[in-house]
Structures are given as C-alpha cells and as structure tokens.
Amino acid sequence: MRIGELAERASTTTRTLRYYEARGLLHAERTANGHRTYDEADLRLLRQIQVLQRFGFELEETRPFVECLRAGHPAGDACPASLQVYRRKLAELDACIAQLQDVREQVSDQLARAVEAMHELATPAAEPGGPQASPRCELTHAPPPMR
C-alpha cells in the first residue's frame, strides 16, 4: 500500500509516517519510481506505536516494541527490552501518583483550614464589642516545597 493509504488506515498523516521513517521506527520499501510502499506488518507496527503513545509513552520508548514485532514475535511486548520499558514506565507513573497524592493531601489540609477559619468568622465573639479574630488566609503564604 502507498503512504496515503497507510496514513488513512491508521488515522494519521503522511507527515507523521515520514517522521517515523526518519526516526527509524517505520521502514518503507521503494518502488522503481521512488514511491514508498508498506504492507500489513507496517500497519501493525504503526498501531503498536499509536497504542503506546496513547498510554503516554514517548516515541523513543516505543522502539523496543517495534523491534520486537520486526523480529517476528507475536506481540510487541514479548521481548525483554519491551518489558524493561513497561517497568520503567510503571515506576514513572508510581512516582507521579505519589506526587499527586502529596498535592492532594496539601489541598485537603488547606481546605480543612479554610473551612475552620470560615466557621470561626461565623461564630459571634464571646464578648460583645470585643476584638474579633482577623481572618486567616494561608493561601497567601508560599506552600511547602513539593517532594
């Protein structure tokens, strides 16, 4: 199939296919007149790249999966190098999740303090005419550094 047909079947652009070719992820055969041609195996490689990118993998991280398919394995993740990329990606995701959990705890704590401060403002002072507590706004202070 020609580059336009491959692009259409993979829901991408010919520019993207040329970029993948320049990066060594996709290899086109050339006809006598220089046109690029591809086969079903190329479509399969392209779909593997697309799935991994939807999962958040960088383009270069897809290389072991592509090479695994090119080596004739039934799946792109049937090779040790692909499994290593999965492990690295999971560690990266775990670190992001931990960081988000820390931020969530900080926001939750801040919300609790804000609700408490609003409750204190709504409660009448113990002595009429006595000094009222000034509102606390801890958002004006710099948050603790993220880990």
3-state secondary structure at position 99 = helix
Task: List the one residue out of 135, 144, 141 whose CA is nearest residue 106.
Answer: 144
pLDDT of residue 104: 95
Are 28 and 6 a contacting pair, CB within 8 Å? no
In sequence order, which residues have a C-beta less than 8 Å from that of residue 113 and are 6 or more positions away? 136, 138
Residue 63 pLDDT: 97
Angle formed by the axes of helices 63-70 and 80-122, to 10°?
150
- Label the pairing between strands 29-30 and 36-37: antiparallel
Contact between 113 and 138 under an 8 Å Cβ cutoff? The reply is yes
pLDDT of residue 45: 96
pLDDT at position 145? 54
Q: Which pLDDT does position 121 carry in this prediction?
A: 84
Matching CATH number, 3-120, of 3.40.50.720, 2.70.98.10, 3.90.850.10, 1.10.1660.10: 1.10.1660.10
Query: How far, in Å, are 55, 64, 85 from residue 90 at the CA level?
Result: 11, 16, 9
Task: Kindly give the parts of the chain with pLDDT less than 70.
Answer: 124-147
Q: Write down the residue that tokens 């199939």 correspond to.
A: 1
Q: What is the pLDDT of residue 119?
A: 87
According to the model, what pLDDT value does residue 80 have?
97
